[in-house]
């Protein structure tokens, strides 16, 4: 049984399909890259995986005890967050809220979980600092820690390296890889960074004019890569 | 100084002055709490639009000759708040256009209605001025209105405390919140309804044209000084209450100073002071 299995999905808005006949699955411990140019339906796919928009056709099944709200999501940064007065600790703790139901305040367990994830992301010395004063890479680690508070099973990352310089990007990718390899966290990375995909991905799902789903090796050796590369670069 | 205190003691002997102070402080507290969220969510204009709607709603209540205007005003404003929130997400009429449409529409219709159906007082411009700038309406609250204000304020504060962390999560990152099972839609709805309640409450204090000031200034001032959501919220609440209290006392002692604009003026002063302190301390 896979964590998530999608069959014959059609995605889009108001009856107009952007992606058709999409079938893929995510297994425990996978590192899946979802590649595609802008407008290929990546964001819609994310919303569908998170259960926020229903697919036009097809089915999504969550298995292995994964619940819909157990996906640790790392969204793209919004304008609002740039001047938001919030401490690192406040943001990371808010990752626990989804599972608290109507309980109004954090208990000891949630505070401890947050502290552990802050430590894991190497942010302990920054935990009282204001989010907007951190560097781009530090901000992403804060959001990663928050996502880890929501779940230890599956992370869904939406272009986490956007706007980061190459060195920080490499550090972030390294961190995500170690979460995947050492802690067994399943990772779905949505990106248009083809080179990173060829380096880190376990499996690749490419959506766009043509759909590819398979291992990184198969993706690399598939004659399709060339045409996809063109796709991605133009996108 | 002794003379001023003596003067003040005399005024405080009147129950209506005490009522005004109680209601004023509570309203200031409520508006500042949700102000932080509104400012950060870029919803400030919704507060502004709703205040004009509240004015229109009040004129309807007046010409229907309803003795206690607050419940009807409250109902109509809440309905508009829900509508505005929905409009913000629709693509046909963009959020800001919908707000502008509704707010100027309500303002114009309100004034039109007041002219066609003159009220009993026979003092049209006085009535309009009171509704728009508050003037002395806080000093003429009936006992029912005072109790209604107190109960509503306590409900607003209670809701804020109970949902504090969720409101934070939804304000900071709606997509993450909904992805992890915190229903951003429901909390946005809650925020819109509560803001409508605050605006109707605050109409008595500062009048409908000046309500936004009560919502926005404390939050902006606090954001100059503090950097975590909790400290900003607390600072905004304290600032708002202090400014309202100070404004009320000045207005009571200086017979020519109208309550609403005086409170707003004090808030502006506080904002300038906070900006200065923020600059100097390099925050």
For the segment B133-182, what is each residue's pLDDT rounded down to a tens digit?
776 667 777 888 888 889 999 999 999 999 999 999 998 988 888 888 88
| Rounded CA separation B153/B137 (Å) | 18
Min Cα–Cα distance to chain B from A98, Å? 5
Q: Quickly state the pLDDT bin for A35 (edges 50, 70, 90).
A: confident
| pLDDT value at residue A68 | 67
Compute the mean pLDDT over every residue in chain B, rounded to the nearest whole number.
Answer: 85
| pLDDT value at residue B234 | 95
Angle made by CA atoms B193, B196, B197, in degrees to the nearest 5:
90
Q: Does A78 touch chain B (CB under 8 A)?
A: yes
Q: Does B11 touch chain A (CB under 8 A)?
A: no
Domain holding B79: CATH number?
1.10.3470.10
For chain B positions 257-276, those within 8 Å of chain A (CB to CB) are: none
Find, among A202, A205, A176, the residue nearest to A192 by Cα: A205
Select from A86, A103, A132, A143 the residue whose CB has the most chain B CBs within 10 Å, as the one to mutate to test that interface: A86
| Rounded CA separation A153/A73 (Å) | 11
> In the sheet that A154-158 helps form, which strands lie side by side, from edge to edge?
A71-74, A154-158, A186-191, A31-35, A203-206, A212-215
Residue A192 in 3-state DSSP?
coil
A132, closest residue in chain B (CA to CA): B227
- pLDDT tens across B59-99, in order? 888 788 777 778 888 898 899 888 877 766 555 556 677 78
Q: CB A81 to CB B172 under 8 A?
A: yes
The mean pLDDT value for A193-212 works out to 83
| pLDDT value at residue A223 | 55
More confident site: A234 or A58: A58
Percent of chain A whose predicted confidence (pLDDT) is above 90:
18
What tokens appear for B118 in the block?
Answer: 């003159």
Q: Quickly state the pLDDT bin for B36 (edges 50, 70, 90).
A: confident
More confident site: B194 or A209: B194
For chain B positions 232-261, those within 8 Å of chain A (CB to CB) are: 232
Domain span holding position B196: 2-280
Q: Quickly state the pLDDT bin for B201 (edges 50, 70, 90).
A: confident
| pLDDT value at residue B266 | 95
More confident site: A42 or A65: A42
The kind and range of the H/E element at A158 are: strand A154-158
The number of domains in chain B is: 1
For chain B positions 205-224, those within 8 Å of chain A (CB to CB) are: 223
| pLDDT value at residue A82 | 77
B162, closest residue in chain A (CA to CA): A104
For chain B positions 33-52, those within 8 Å of chain A (CB to CB) are: 40-42
Q: CB B178 to CB A106 under 8 A?
A: no
User: How many C-beta atoms surround the C-beta of residue A187 within 10 A?
Assistant: 23
- pLDDT tens across A177-188, in order? 988 888 888 999
B127 CA to centre of own chain: 19
Find, among B156, B151, B157, B149, the residue nearest to B68 by Cα: B149
- Identify the burial level of A82 via C-beta atoms within 10 angstroms of its C-beta, where 0-12 means exposed, 13-18 middle and 19 or more buried: exposed
Q: Does A104 touch chain B (CB under 8 A)?
A: yes
Spell out which residues of chain B touch residue A99, defining contact as CB-CB under 8 Å. Answer: 180-181
For chain A, give every domain's residue range: 1-66+154-163+185-235, 77-152
- Identify the burial level of B8 via C-beta atoms within 10 angstroms of its C-beta, where 0-12 means exposed, 13-18 middle and 19 or more buried: middle
User: How many C-beta atoms surround the C-beta of residue B275 within 10 A?
Assistant: 14
Spell out which residues of chain B touch residue A153, defining contact as CB-CB under 8 Å. Answer: none
CATH class of A1-66+154-163+185-235: alpha beta
The mean pLDDT value for A96-106 works out to 85
| Rounded CA separation B198/B216 (Å) | 13
What tokens appear for B44 in the block?
Answer: 């400030």
| pLDDT value at residue B242 | 96
Spell out which residues of chain B touch residue A98, defining contact as CB-CB under 8 Å. Answer: 177, 180-182
Residue B64 in 3-state DSSP?
coil
Q: Which residues touch A230 (CB under 8 Å, ≥6 apart)?
A: none
| pLDDT value at residue A115 | 92
| pLDDT value at residue A234 | 44
| pLDDT value at residue B222 | 95
| pTM listed for this prediction | 0.86
Lowest mean pLDDT among A56-65, B123-132, B196-205: B123-132
């Amino acid at each position: 049984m896979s964590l998530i299995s999608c069959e014959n999905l059609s995605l889009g808005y108001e009856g107009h399909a952007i992606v058709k006949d999409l079938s893929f699955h995510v297994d425990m411990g996978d590192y899946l890259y979802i590649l595609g140019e802008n407008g290929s339906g990546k964001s819609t796919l994310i919303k569908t995986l998170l259960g926020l928009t229903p697919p036009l056709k097809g089915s999504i099944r969550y298995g292995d005890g994964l619940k819909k709200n157990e996906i640790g999501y790392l969204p793209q940064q919004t304008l609002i967050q740039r001047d938001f007065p919030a401490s690192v600790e406040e943001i990371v703790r808010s990752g626990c809220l989804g599972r608290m139901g109507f309980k109004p305040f954090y208990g000891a367990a949630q505070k401890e979980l947050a502290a552990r994830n802050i430590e894991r992301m190497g942010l302990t010395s920054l935990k009282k600092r204001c989010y907007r004063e951190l560097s781009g890479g530090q901000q992403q680690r804060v959001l990663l820690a928050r996502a880890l508070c929501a779940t230890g099973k599956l992370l869904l990352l939406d272009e986490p390296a956007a706007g980061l310089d190459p060195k920080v990007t490499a550090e972030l990718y390294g961190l995500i890889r170690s979460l995947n390899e050492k802690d067994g966290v399943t990772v779905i990375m949505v990106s248009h960074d083809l080179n990173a995909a060829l380096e880190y991905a376990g499996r690749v799902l490419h959506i766009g004019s043509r759909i590819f789903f398979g291992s990184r090796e198969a993706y690399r050796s598939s004659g399709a890569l060339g045409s996809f590369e063109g796709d991605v670069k133009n996108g | 100084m002794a003379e001023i205190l003596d003067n003040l003691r005399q005024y405080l002997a009147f129950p209506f002055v005490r009522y005004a102070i109680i209601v004023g402080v509570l309203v200031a507290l409520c508006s500042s709490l949700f102000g932080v969220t509104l400012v950060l969510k870029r919803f400030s204009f919704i507060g502004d639009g709703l205040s004009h709607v509240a004015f229109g709603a009040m004129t309807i209540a007046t010409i229907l000759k309803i003795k206690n205007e607050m419940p009807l005003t409250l109902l109509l404003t809440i309905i508009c708040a829900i509508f505005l929130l929905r409009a913000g997400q629709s693509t046909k009429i963009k959020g800001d256009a919908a707000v502008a449409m509704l707010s100027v529409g309500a303002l114009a219709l309100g004034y039109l209605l007041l002219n066609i159906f003159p009220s009993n007082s026979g003092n049209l411009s006085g009535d309009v001025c009171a509704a728009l700038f508050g003037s002395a309406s806080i000093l003429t609250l009936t006992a029912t209105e005072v109790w209604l204000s107190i109960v509503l304020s306590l409900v607003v504060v209670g809701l804020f405390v109970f949902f504090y962390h969720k409101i934070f999560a939804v304000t900071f990152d709606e997509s993450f919140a909904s992805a992890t099972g915190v229903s951003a839609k429901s909390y946005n709805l809650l925020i819109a309804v509560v803001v409508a309640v605050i605006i109707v409450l605050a109409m008595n204090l500062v009048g409908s044209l000046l309500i936004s000031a009560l919502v926005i200034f404390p939050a902006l001032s606090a954001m100059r000084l503090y950097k975590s959501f909790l400290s900003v919220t607390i600072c905004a609440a304290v600032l708002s209450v202090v400014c309202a209290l100070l404004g009320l006392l000045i207005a009571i002692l200086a017979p020519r100073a109208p309550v609403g604009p005086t409170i707003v003026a004090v808030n502006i002063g506080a904002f300038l002071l906070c900006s200065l302190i923020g600059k100097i301390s390099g925050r």
